[in-house]
Amino acid sequence: MKKSLIMLLVLGLAVLSVTGCEKKMVDSMMDAMEQSGAPTKDDPEAYTVALVQNAVELYKTGGVEAVATYHNDPENIDGQWYVFITDENDIFVAHAPMPALIGTDLKDVPWRDEDVERHDGSTLGAKIAMATETGTWIDYLWPNPATGEIEQKRTWAIRYDGYLFGSGYYATDSN
């Protein structure tokens, strides 16, 4: 499955270089992924991991500017799904639903008031920033861009080349 995702990404990037149309290429790639048996939104954990892996693959082929530009575009928010990215110092370089976070430190992102009692005094951002190259899941309350409500979120975060890539889904809205 990992090989097919990489091949789809490479094919998509080839289409991008020929057509110059980034959004159309990604839409076609997502359609191809769904047809190829890649994870769908029916399996939100697998879909989330695949979204993050696709961001890492775009970083590998296009660099940080390409991946940040793509994931800062609100057009690339897929309902509740989006990818956020920090640099090696945990400074946000991509966060489409909350662009005000760009340039701020992930480690400064606090727990929601409703979450504070469940944690050890560290910040939500510090917990996410502890992600390693093997990745980690984090559960917390966060605004859902699809509903505007504060909801339980489950986020997958992984480090690659010092950068942190993350995405998640809302337990109350898995599609």
CA distance readout (Å), 165 to 29, 55, 95: 20, 7, 10
Q: Could you tell me the strand order of the sheet in which 150-160 lies? A: 92-94, 83-86, 163-170, 150-160, 136-143
User: Which residue in this structure is represented by tokens 């991946």?
Assistant: 67
| Reported pTM | 0.77
What mean pLDDT is predicted for residues 33-52?
86
Residue 46: pLDDT over 90: yes
| Structure confidence at residue 115 as a pLDDT band (50, 70, 90) | confident
Residue 4: pLDDT over 90: no
| Structure confidence at residue 112 as a pLDDT band (50, 70, 90) | confident
Q: Give the dihedral sign, CA 51/71/148/118.
A: positive
Tell me the domains of the chain and their CATH numbers. Answer: 39-170 (3.30.450.20)
What mean pLDDT is predicted for residues 51-75?
98
Which position has the higher pLDDT, 21 or 126?
A: 126
Length of the chain: 175
What mean pLDDT is predicted for residues 111-138?
88
What mean pLDDT is predicted for residues 149-166?
96
At 15 the pLDDT is 34
- Terminus-to-terminus CA distance in the chain, angstroms? 22
